[in-house]
Amino acid sequence: MNRRHSWLLVTALTLTGFSMRTAVTSVGAVLDDIQNDLNVSSGIAGLITTLPVVCFAGLGAVTPRLGRRIGAHRLLAVGLVVSTLGLALRPIGANVGWFALGSLLALSGGAVSNVLLPSLVKEHFPDRIGAMTALYTTALAVGTTAAAGLTVPIGHVTGGGWRAGLASWAVWTLLAVVPWLPTTRRDASAPPDPAAAIPLARLFRSRTAWALTVFFAMQSWQAYISFGWFARFLDDHGISSGTAGAMLAVLAGTAIPVSLVAPRVAPERLRFVIGALGSCYLVAYVGMSVAPVGGAWVWMALVGVGSGMFPIALTLIGLRSRTAATTAALSAFAQAIGYVVAGCGPVLFGALFGATGSWALPMAVLFAALAITLVAAWPSTADRYVDDELAPSSA
């Protein structure tokens, strides 16, 4: 790969990573305004917040097949264009149906990117999987934080309110399309080999694929609960909503430097790193249980550090596969199942709190999720490949 092509891909990964979650976190920042303007009930608002899970799981599952049919680079570019249209169009509607449809379009780029970026990193940077994963996951963390914190100010500055704030993020997905366009020629010159395709059903008999799926699902489970319920947890313990929001910003911000460093660690040391990140989670959960107010800033920062397991999970998808085709299939398998499981986390957490009126059982769910995450991390970091487990001799 020449230097110009390499820098083009680095730019593409960075811009795509930045835009992968802006369609999600920008909505949370203005959800109350959306409810008021569109006359949306709390129940429907709750359904809107579950659209990312549905889209990431559903579209993610069919992404490898679509990628083989039209080419991975072309599919990613198309997904980003569709996402741009969704981001630009969903705020202009006057009813929740239009907003929901626009949201599905807006989320398509993130859903496709979730699955394709690990395989494209494997294809273009097979010897720099950790570094390139760190690049786009750090950009993802920055974009996630920016969309949550800047959507409201952008709406105020432009005078367009929440509609302008949401639409502004279409600029970034449109920019992300540009560096991918020259790479689409690769799909025409080197079409995928149908014989190399791996149906997702085959991965059901891979121990490593299942271990990585559980690891991905349970670390995402904890992340979804933290962003969905920790503000309520802090508010319930007497912390003002403004301060709670600032604490969640610290949580998200702390994840940025961790995302930059964690995936770069040598593969043989990943177990140690995951153990260290798990210890941060454990200290935070214990602290939230016994001293939720006194050390709240510290607990939120530690949860942010612990969330560094997410970029490690994406790195492992590339490390546990020998080819880009296997990486794409493993990525779709782990994320399609993982996001569905993770989406159940906030529901169970909230149901237990509603049923008991106490935070004891919900916190127990977090402790259990952490334990399962650490157990699944052991086989996920073993030096073996999904390809070998799918070979006829291993069957």
CA dihedral of 49, 51, 52, 56, whole degrees rounded to 10? 160
- Report the pLDDT value the prediction gives residue 29, as an integer from 0 to 100: 76
How many residues are given for the chain?
395
* Burial annotation 92-129 (CB, 10 A radius, 16+ → b, else e): eeeebeebbebbbbbbbbbbbbbbbbbbbbbbbbeeeb
- Report the pLDDT value the prediction gives residue 196, as an integer from 0 to 100: 57
Distance CA 148, CA 357 (A): 29
pLDDT at residue 368 tops 80: yes
**Count of alpha carbons within 13 angstroms of residue 255, beta-carbon side:** 29
- Report the pLDDT value the prediction gives residue 247, as an integer from 0 to 100: 87
245, 231 Cβ separation under 8 angstroms: yes
Answer left, alpha or beta for residue 39, where phi above 0 means left and psi between -120 and 50 means alpha.
Answer: left
Token pair 């990943």 is found at 270
Can you say how many angstroms the Cα of residue 384 is from the centroid of all Cα atoms in its chain? 25
Distance CA 302, CA 250 (A): 10
Band the pLDDT of 76: cuts 50, 70, 90: very high
Band the pLDDT of 395: cuts 50, 70, 90: very low
Distance CA 85, CA 89 (A): 6
- Report the pLDDT value the prediction gives residue 285, as an integer from 0 to 100: 97
Residue, of 354 and 372, whose pLDDT is higher: 372
Distance CA 172, CA 168 (A): 8
Distance CA 372, CA 305 (A): 18
Distance CA 40, CA 42 (A): 7
Band the pLDDT of 192: cuts 50, 70, 90: low
Q: Across residues 342-360, what is the average pLDDT?
A: 89
45, 28 Cβ separation under 8 angstroms: no
> Nearest 5 degrees, angle CA 297-CA 374-CA 367?
50
For residue range 79-103, list pLDDT tens digits in order: 999 999 999 999 998 888 999 999 9
Q: How far apart are the first and last CA of the chain?
A: 37
Distance CA 138, CA 171 (A): 19
For residue range 207-262, list pLDDT tens digits in order: 999 999 999 999 999 998 888 788 888 988 998 877 887 888 888 889 889 988 99
141, 256 Cβ separation under 8 angstroms: yes
pLDDT at residue 172 tops 70: yes
Distance CA 337, CA 213 (A): 7
> Nearest 5 degrees, angle CA 93-CA 94-CA 97?
75
Amino acid in position 81: V
- Report the pLDDT value the prediction gives residue 394, as an integer from 0 to 100: 47
